[in-house]
C-alpha cells in the first residue's frame, strides 16, 4: 500500500495542471494551462508520449479556418496514467495508441453491423488537444500495443488511413495504380499496393528541386514506385498519357482536391479514383461530366473515421512489413512545438513525418 501511495503522489497527485496546444491564428500556436483530466468511471487518462503532425494539423496552422481556436494532434501513442473504477483490463504503465474516432455502437448502422457508417461517431477532437501532456478518453478508444516504440506506434494512425484508401479503391492484382501526393499516407499506399500485387505503381510529387520534394521522391522509389513524376513539370500529364496510353485502372489522391480534375483523363475505361486530400481554402472542383459519364468512371471519397485497422497496422509496423523509420524525418520535444510545425511546413527541411515527443 505504501508503494502504491508513493506512485500516486508522484504521478497523479502532483500532476494537477497540464499544458495543451491549440492553433489560435495563422501560424500561431498557444500552450494553454488546463487542469489534470481525471478519468470518469469508464475513462482512462493517458500520458501522451508521441504525437505526429498530420497534414490536417498543418492546414489548421497555416489557414486557421473558422476563426476560433482549434485543438491540435490526433496521431497519438501514450502510456496509461490513471484508470476509472470501471476499467479492469488496462493498468498504469500500459502502452496504448488512442483512436481519434470510434463508432457509437448504438445507432442503426452500428446495430446492423456497419459501424463504418456510424451516424453518431464519438471523438475527443472537438474539445481536447492530443498535443498535450495528458489526454482523457473513453476506454474504448485505446488499443494496447507491444513490440514497438512510441514513435512507431504513433504512425499507425496514418497507416490505417492508407488501409482505407487501398480498400476503397478496390485495387486488384496486376492493375496499374497512380498515386498523387507523397506524404506518409501516399508513401504507405505505394508499399501496400506492392504487397497487394499491383503491376505498376506510378507516383506524382511536387517540387523535386526542393529538399522535401527530393526526399519524398527518393522514398517513393524505396517504397516500390516504378516511376515518380514532378507535377511542376508542365509536360507531366502528356508524358504519362504517352507512356500509359490505356490509362490507369485506379488512382489514389492524397493531394488537395484541385489535383483531381487533371487526373481524370488518365483513368482507363471504367476506372476509379479515390481521394482523401483536403483543403480549407480551395474546396470546389469542376470537370467534364459527359466525359466522366461515357467512360464509366468512379470518384469516391475516403474518410477513415471511425478509425479501423489499428491491430493490423500495429502488427505490420512491429513486424517490419511496413518500415516506417525512413519516413520519420524529424523529431522535436513538446517545448519546441512551433519549430516542429515550421519544419513540417518548410519545403527546405526535407520533412515527411514530424513527431512531437513528451518528456517524463
Asked, for residue 317, whether it belongs to a domain, the answer is no
Residue 67's CATH number: 3.90.180.10
Task: Supply angle C-alpha 18, 22, 27, rounded to 5.
Answer: 135
Secondary element (H or E) of residue 98 = strand 95-98
Residue 230's CATH number: 3.40.50.720
Asked, for residue 318, whether it belongs to a domain, the answer is no
8 and 117 share one domain: yes
241 and 330 share one domain: no
162 and 176 share one domain: yes
271 and 332 share one domain: no
Question: What distance in Å separates the CA atoms of residue 335 and residue 331, rounded to the nearest whole number?
Answer: 12
Residue 341 C-alpha cell reads as: 510545425
Concatenate the DSSP letters of all residues of 17-78 into one string: EEEEEEEEETTEEEEEEEE-----TTEEEEEEEEEE--HHHHHHHHH-TTSS-EE---EEEE
Q: Which of 315, 343, 311 is nearest to 328 (CA)?
A: 343
Asked, for residue 319, whether it belongs to a domain, the answer is no
Asked, for residue 60, whether it belongs to a domain, the answer is yes
pLDDT at 273: 98
Q: Report the Cα–Cα distance between both ends of the chain, in Å, rounded.
A: 24
Backbone φ, ψ for residue 79 (5° rounding): -120, 130
Asked, for residue 347, whether it belongs to a domain, the answer is yes
180 and 98 share one domain: no
Task: Compute CA distances 241 → 2, 62, 270, whole Å.
Answer: 73, 35, 17
pLDDT tens for the chain, residues 1 to 360 = 555 545 555 555 455 799 999 999 999 999 999 999 999 999 999 999 999 999 999 999 999 988 899 999 999 999 999 999 999 999 999 999 999 999 999 999 999 999 999 999 999 999 999 999 999 999 999 999 999 999 999 999 999 999 999 999 999 999 999 999 999 999 999 999 999 999 999 999 999 999 999 999 999 999 999 999 999 999 999 999 999 999 999 999 999 999 999 999 999 999 999 999 888 888 899 999 999 999 999 999 999 899 899 999 999 999 999 999 999 999 999 999 999 999 999 999 999 999 999 987
Backbone φ, ψ for residue 19 (5° rounding): -115, 140
pLDDT at 4: 55
Measured in whole angstroms, how far is the alpha carbon of residue 293 from the centre of its chain? 32
- Could you tell me the residue range of the domain that residue 329 belongs to? 2-155+324-357
pLDDT at 11: 55
Question: What distance in Å separates the CA atoms of residue 213 and residue 65, rounded to the nearest whole number?
Answer: 26
Asked, for residue 98, whether it belongs to a domain, the answer is yes
Asked, for residue 337, whether it belongs to a domain, the answer is yes
Question: What distance in Å separates the CA atoms of residue 274 and residue 252, rounded to the nearest whole number?
Answer: 5
107 and 223 share one domain: no
145 and 96 share one domain: yes
239 and 272 share one domain: yes
Decide if 143 contacts 314 (C-beta within 8 A): yes
* 267-275 and 298-301 strand pairing: parallel
In the chain, the number of structural domains is 2
DSSP letter (8 states) at residue 234:
T
Asked, for residue 34, whether it belongs to a domain, the answer is yes
DSSP letter (8 states) at residue 113:
T
Question: What distance in Å separates the CA atoms of residue 36 and residue 136, rounded to the nearest whole number?
Answer: 9
The residue assigned the cell 468511471 is 41
pLDDT at 244: 94
288 and 338 share one domain: no
226 and 350 share one domain: no
Backbone φ, ψ for residue 294 (5° rounding): -70, -20
Residue 172 C-alpha cell reads as: 486488384
Question: What distance in Å separates the CA atoms of residue 232 and residue 154, rounded to the nearest whole number?
Answer: 32
137 and 238 share one domain: no
pLDDT at 197: 96
32 and 95 share one domain: yes
Amino acid at each position: 500500500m505504501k508503494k502504491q501511495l508513493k506512485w500516486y503522489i508522484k504521478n497523479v497527485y502532483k500532476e494537477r495542471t497540464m499544458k495543451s496546444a491549440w492553433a489560435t491564428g495563422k501560424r500561431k500556436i498557444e500552450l494553454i494551462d488546463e487542469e489534470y483530466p481525471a478519468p470518469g468511471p469508464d475513462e482512462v487518462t493517458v500520458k501522451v508520449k508521441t504525437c505526429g503532425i498530420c497534414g490536417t494539423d498543418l492546414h489548421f496552422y497555416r489557414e486557421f479556418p473558422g476563426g476560433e481556436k482549434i485543438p491540435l494532434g490526433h496521431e497519438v501513442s501514450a502510456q496509461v496514467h490513471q484508470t476509472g473504477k470501471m476499467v479492469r483490463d488496462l493498468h498504469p504503465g500500459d502502452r496504448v495508441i488512442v483512436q481519434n474516432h470510434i463508432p457509437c455502437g448504438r445507432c442503426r448502422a452500428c446495430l446492423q453491423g456497419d459501424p463504418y457508417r456510424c451516424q453518431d461517431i464519438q471523438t475527443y477532437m472537438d474539445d481536447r488537444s492530443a498535443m498535450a501532456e495528458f489526454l482523457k478518453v473513453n476506454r474504448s478508444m485505446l488499443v494496447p500495443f507491444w513490440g514497438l516504440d512510441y514513435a512507431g506506434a504513433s504512425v499507425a494512425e496514418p497507416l490505417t488511413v492508407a488501409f482505407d484508401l487501398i480498400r476503397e479503391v478496390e485495387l486488384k492484382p496486376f492493375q496499374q495504380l497512380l498515386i498523387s501526393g507523397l506524404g506518409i499516407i501516399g508513401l504507405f499506399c505505394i508499399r501496400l499496393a506492392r504487397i497487394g500485387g499491383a503491376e505498376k505503381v506510378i507516383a506524382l510529387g511536387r517540387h523535386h528541386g526542393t529538399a522535401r520534394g527530393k526526399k519524398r521522391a527518393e522514398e517513393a522509389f524505396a517504397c516500390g514506385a516504378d516511376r515518380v513524376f514532378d507535377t511542376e513539370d508542365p509536360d507531366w500529364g502528356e508524358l504519362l498519357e504517352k507512356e500509359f496510353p490505356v490509362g490507369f485502372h485506379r488512382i489514389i489522391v492524397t493531394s488537395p482536391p484541385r489535383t483531381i480534375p487533371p487526373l481524370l483523363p488518365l483513368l482507363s475505361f471504367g476506372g476509379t479514383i479515390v481521394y482523401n486530400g483536403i483543403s480549407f481554402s480551395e474546396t470546389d472542383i469542376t470537370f467534364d461530366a459527359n466525359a466522366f459519364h461515357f467512360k464509366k468512371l468512379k470518384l469516391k471519397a475516403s474518410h477513415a473515421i471511425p478509425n479501423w485497422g489499428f491491430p493490423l497496422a500495429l502488427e505490420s509496423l512491429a513486424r517490419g512489413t511496413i518500415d516506417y523509420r525512413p519516413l520519420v524525418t524529424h523529431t522535436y520535444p513538446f517545448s519546441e512545438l512551433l519549430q516542429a510545425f515550421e519544419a513540417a511546413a518548410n519545403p527546405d527541411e526535407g520533412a515527411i513525418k514530424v513527431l512531437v515527443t513528451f518528456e517524463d
